[in-house]
Amino acid sequence: MVLLRCRSSSTWSMSRRLFHYFRSLSSSALPIRQTPQNDLFSCNARIQELGNLGRVEEARHLFDEMIQRDSITWNSMITWYFRNGRIDEARELFDAFAGKNVRTWTAMVSGYAKNGKLEEARGMFDLMPERNVVSWNAMISGYAQNGDLYSARILFNEMPERNVESWNTIITGYGHCGWMKEARELFEQMRHRNLVSWMLMISGYVHIDDHTEAWNMFLKMHHGGVRPDQSIFVVILAAITGLDNSKLIETLQTLAIKTNFEGDVVVGTAIMNAYTRNGRLDSAMKFFESMRERNEFSWTTMITSLSQSGRLKDAIAVYKRVPEQNVASQTAMMSAFAQHGRIHEARRIFEEIPNPNEITWNAMVAGYAQNGMLDEASKIFHRMPVRNSASWAAMISGFAQKGWSEEALNLLSELHRSGMVPSHSSFTSALFACGNIGSLEMGRQVHTLTVKTGCQFNSYVGNGLISMYAKCRNMEDVSQTFNTMRVKDTVSWNSLISALSQNNMLGDACSVFEKMPKRDVVSWTAMISGYAQAGHGDLAFELFLDMLASGINPNQSTLTGLLSICASLGATKLGKQIHGLIFKLGLDFDLFISNALISMYFKCGCEDGFWVFEEMPDHDVVSWNAILDGCAHNGFGEEAVKLFEQMKAEGILPNQISFVSVLNACSHAGLVDEGWAYFNSMNRDYGIMPLEGHYACMVDLLGRAGHLYEAEAFIEKMPIEPDSVVWGALLGACRIHQNAELAHRVADRLFQLEPQNSGNYILLSNIYASQGMWEQVGEIRKLMRDQGVTKEPGISWIQIKNKLHSFLTGDKTHDQTEGIYSTLKEFYRRLKATGYVPDTSFVLHDVEEEQKENVLLHHSEKLAIAYGLLNTPNGTSIQIMKNLRICGDCHTFTKFMTRVTQREIVIRDGKRFHHFRDGSCSCGDYW
């Protein structure tokens, strides 16, 4: 073939003849520009290069300028259009190309299939004038990739001839769909296998979490004399990670040495990665140090693993040792900083990279989005020179996770209008957004778009549809989506269980759980969460024990969920047992679990939360918020202020939750000036607009300090409409300072906002009762009857030997009632002798004084204290939980009890913790 050379200043007629000659060779029906290029080979290579870079417009520009084109030119351009989702332009080129060959037809079949257009792919396949085995494999692969294994198998059976790739293609489809029984049957029928065949089987078993069978398949391959290659080592190490067997990692190390893979950097990095995923970070570090050669993935894996385990300082140390900083290591360190809330340091690294790639840009977008800084994420997103599907997915996910659901859906629409096909991740985030706002109509529109783009059969999208319909309370569509899914993986079953649990269909969730072909840790965790959400904490823990007995270890979500149950129950001992298990599993440095431990201890009124925080190698903004909130609810106001200042000094930017916690702490400690300073700094220094919660904290702060009318004026000047929480804070302050006049005005507002909230009626009634305004008390009670509002009973409970004992005021149903009442009567006499005087203003009925004292004596928290004294050893602390605010008399009574009994008593009421010691309370009588 004559190659095209640059046109010189030779005669125009010769140039003209060459032009017509080469035009006839190209068989082009499109207009051709007469700007010359060097030669055909170079032009084709450049089109390939531009296509790989995603620069399709430039590739097409070069295509149009070429005087000569061959089938490679046309086929390449068609392929790159398909790979970028530009299906119509690919078809336009195909129709224009008169010299189509079998490769051109196959490119069309493959392109349609990969874009989810199976009908068009099959139509093209059926029209092919001739087919080869590659064409058949392309169509089978298309069916398999889109989950239509039935059609794939029929076509496979019809093939006139098959090669190893044909068998591997159908096995790949079965493996992706988790149909390993069918894959195994085909594998056993194969006369000839290659390393890819073995890898597909091993990776298929890993995909369905059958790590034992993956290991057995590897042993069969090894014993059959097949030498593993690099990719086999990598995939079998993934299986070993699932088996949680560190000895097998060491076995693979030995085999790698025997097969001369000892120094292979990819295999070495996979071994190191296996150690990190098995929780043996120190072993991973030791292996890392012993590696003779390290590539950028080795360094980035170590940086990422240390960061994800909460060891940011160690990750920084490794980063500083990278011999030559490159984009990969810098991106890993950026992500680590962002994950720990140190977004400014992530941005500093980003700005130092001269030519960031798409992954780096995306990491910066995701980093801002993960930290809730969506304005900054959006600015980076719009600055990107080239956006890919991951860029859009990061922004859509960021909006959805922040709760900006409409913005997420608008961005999906913009992506769709741009001509790009949304990724599966973008669809799942959009469905999550629809579920967040309960928009069934919008969810169905997104569902329709997934069908149009051929993504509806993707398991991730299907699972997202199940979750969306569940949040929209449409269980009919949940069932229909699940039943029509071509591939039901374990995640699909788990999504269905979660959907049923969320809709209070726990019995149905249990039935699905029992029917599951295979359960993983997520399955068990979903059921445990379902029981917890239904208030069955005891059943949740029973199921957890069954899970351990079945040989499945809990993951991060399981443990954080159990710690949350312990926190809600105030079950400190149970929480400490879970903490012990965390140590045994080597998860004590896990950032999320450590954060959950801080919350659990403080919500149980236990100061061990400070110790957990101090032991953590690194803290993110959630860690700081957890300890700040713990301080706020346990009366450690000054400690909260010190920690908040320390947080700022360490470069962690406070967010809205941080300010709620520190303002709450200031409120409970009477730190008015400090509270004002923090409130004013929110917008001025951090650009955070105060929300209802922040205003409620300020009202509470002013009200508790006695500045009731200043608090009322503050509410009237709020730039946003005050909600019931804001007015409720002021009503609570009126109760503290006995201001009936203001309480009446505030309560009228609350009755309009929350006509069925009994707490507001009771609070106003209490204020009237404490001042002997019995006529007004009667009016409130009549109003409650007319409105159909019933009073929530005060309940106190105590946990002893992992069993909860609950008490109502005046309760006589407990089997130790006689002992409880006699104990209270005895201590009542002793306390009076030491100066205790019952405060009968807290009795809300107009009865005789002696009767009032008798009512006070049998308040639920006093009954629980007496039971604790009877059933716990002398000197041990007693912990009581109460659903309502502790009354003033019980507060005084408990202070005297700690002095007489020399015991610590901790009471968590509906507002906060009270730590009573030696006749005083941590709240300083300021609650």
Pair type for strands 905-908 and 913-917: antiparallel
Residues 726 and 827 in one domain: no
- For the chain, what is the total number of helices (H) and then of strands (E)? 51, 6
Q: Is the pTM of this model over 0.85?
A: no
CA atoms 763, 764, 765, 767: torsion sign: positive
Longest dimension (CA), the chain: 125
Nearest CA to 798 out of 886, 863, 873, 893 is that of 863
d(C-alpha 25, C-alpha 620), whole Å: 64
Both structure tokens of 23 = 């035009």
With contact defined as beta carbons under 8 Å apart, do 475 and 499 qualify? yes
Q: Average pLDDT of 325-353?
A: 88
Residues 917 and 804 in one domain: yes
Q: Cα 640 vs. chain centroid, distance in angstroms?
A: 27
Q: Is 921 helix (H, G, I), strand (E, B) or coil?
A: strand
With contact defined as beta carbons under 8 Å apart, do 855 and 810 qualify? yes
d(C-alpha 388, C-alpha 325), whole Å: 25
Name the pLDDT band for 7 (thresholds 50, 70, 90). very low
Query: Could you tell me what percent of the chain has a pLDDT over 90?
Result: 17
Q: Average pLDDT of 79-92?
A: 87
With contact defined as beta carbons under 8 Å apart, do 582 and 310 qualify? no
pLDDT in tens, 420-441: 778 888 888 888 889 888 888 8
pLDDT in tens, 446-505: 888 888 777 777 777 888 888 888 888 888 888 888 887 766 777 788 888 888 887 878
Which of the listed residues 740, 757, 792 is the one where a domain comes to its end?
792
d(C-alpha 121, C-alpha 443), whole Å: 28
Per the listing, tokens 């257009």 go with 117
- Residue 854, pLDDT score: 60
Residues 821 and 917 in one domain: yes
Nearest CA to 651 out of 890, 358, 379, 316 is that of 316
Residue 601 inside a domain? The answer is: no
d(C-alpha 410, C-alpha 412), whole Å: 5
- SS3 letters for 637-675? HHHHHHHHHHHHHCCCCCCHHHHHHHHHHHHHHCCHHHH
- Residue 385, pLDDT score: 85
Q: Show the domain range for 904.
A: 795-921
Residues 714 and 776 in one domain: yes
Residues 765 and 800 in one domain: no
- SS3 letters for 464-482? HHHHHHHHCCCHHHHHHHH
Residues 816 and 727 in one domain: no
Residue 158 inside a domain? The answer is: no
d(C-alpha 760, C-alpha 756), whole Å: 9
- Residue 712, pLDDT score: 92
Residue 416 inside a domain? The answer is: no
- Residue 298, pLDDT score: 84
Question: From residue 524, how far is each of 140, 569, 896 by CA, in Å?
Answer: 36, 21, 47
Residue 764 has pLDDT above 80, yes or no: yes
- Residue 536, pLDDT score: 83
Pair type for strands 878-882 and 795-800: antiparallel
Q: How many CA atoms lie within 13 A of 367 on its CB side?
A: 28
- Residue 177, pLDDT score: 74
Residue 365 has pLDDT above 80, yes or no: yes
| Residue of 195 and 210 predicted with greater confidence | 195
Name the pLDDT band for 23 (thresholds 50, 70, 90). very low
d(C-alpha 166, C-alpha 187), whole Å: 12
d(C-alpha 65, C-alpha 45), whole Å: 15
Q: Average pLDDT of 311-317?
A: 88
With contact defined as beta carbons under 8 Å apart, do 657 and 682 qualify? no
Q: Cα 178 vs. chain centroid, distance in angstroms?
A: 25
d(C-alpha 447, C-alpha 454), whole Å: 11
Say what angle helices 87-96 and 102-114 make with each other, to 10 degrees: 170
Residues 915 and 806 in one domain: yes
Which residues are CB-contacts of 727 (< 8 A; sequence separation ≥ 6)?
Answer: 715, 746, 749, 750, 753
Residue 895 inside a domain? The answer is: yes
Residues 862 and 907 in one domain: yes
With contact defined as beta carbons under 8 Å apart, do 696 and 725 qualify? yes
Residue type, 166: S
Determine how many CB atoms are found less than 10 A away from the CB of residue 49.
12
Residue 864 has pLDDT above 90, yes or no: yes
Q: Average pLDDT of 809-838?
A: 88
For the chain, the distance separating the N- and C-terminal CA atoms, rounded to the nearest angstrom, is 93
pLDDT in tens, 660-693: 999 999 988 888 999 999 999 998 998 889 998 9
Residue 467 inside a domain? The answer is: no
Say what angle helices 672-686 and 656-669 make with each other, to 10 degrees: 170
Q: Is 916 helix (H, G, I), strand (E, B) or coil?
A: strand
Nearest CA to 37 out of 53, 52, 26 is that of 26
Nearest CA to 655 out of 371, 325, 365 is that of 371
Q: What's the CATH code of the domain at 541?
A: 1.25.40
CA R_g for the chain:
34
d(C-alpha 899, C-alpha 920), whole Å: 8
Residues 828 and 909 in one domain: yes
Determine how many CB atoms are found less than 10 A away from the CB of residue 769.
20
d(C-alpha 636, C-alpha 181), whole Å: 60
Residue 902 inside a domain? The answer is: yes
Which DSSP string do the residues of 762-828 spell out, in sequence order? HHHHHHHHHTT-HHHHHHHHHHHHHHT--PPPPEEEEEETTEEEEEETT---STTHHHHHHHHHHHH
Residue 81 has pLDDT above 90, yes or no: no
- Residue 372, pLDDT score: 80
d(C-alpha 535, C-alpha 108), whole Å: 56
Q: How many domains does the chain have?
A: 3
Residue 845 has pLDDT above 50, yes or no: no
Burial of 473 (0-12, 13-18, 19+ CB in 10 A): exposed
Residue 35 has pLDDT above 60, yes or no: no
| Residue of 14 and 56 predicted with greater confidence | 56
Residue 444 inside a domain? The answer is: no
Residue type, 8: S
Pair type for strands 905-908 and 795-800: unpaired
Name the pLDDT band for 11 (thresholds 50, 70, 90). very low
d(C-alpha 502, C-alpha 534), whole Å: 9
Residues 522 and 542 in one domain: yes
pLDDT in tens, 534-556: 888 888 888 899 988 888 888 88
Give the residues across from 879 on adjacent strands. Answer: 906
Q: How many CA atoms lie within 13 A of 849 on its CB side?
A: 3
Both structure tokens of 204 = 């298929």
CA atoms 912, 917, 918, 923: torsion sign: negative
| Residue of 372 and 641 predicted with greater confidence | 641
Label residues 689-710 b or e (16+ Cβ within 10 Å = b). Answer: ebeebbbbbbbbbbbbbebbee
Residues 896 and 909 in one domain: yes
Size of the chain in residues: 927
d(C-alpha 449, C-alpha 455), whole Å: 8
d(C-alpha 529, C-alpha 502), whole Å: 10
Mean pLDDT of the chain, nearest integer: 84
Residue 195 inside a domain? The answer is: no
Which of the listed residues 538, 553, 568 is the one where a domain comes to its end?
553
Residues 764 and 821 in one domain: no
Helical H segments across 261-355, by residue range: 265-277, 281-290, 296-308, 312-321, 327-339, 343-352
With contact defined as beta carbons under 8 Å apart, do 66 and 38 qualify? no
Both structure tokens of 755 = 């006509």
Residue 134 has pLDDT above 80, yes or no: yes
Which residues are CB-contacts of 327 (< 8 A; sequence separation ≥ 6)?
Answer: 353, 355, 356, 357, 359, 360
For residue 840, what is the DSSP state? Answer: G
Which of the listed residues 553, 569, 590 is the one where a domain comes to its end?
553
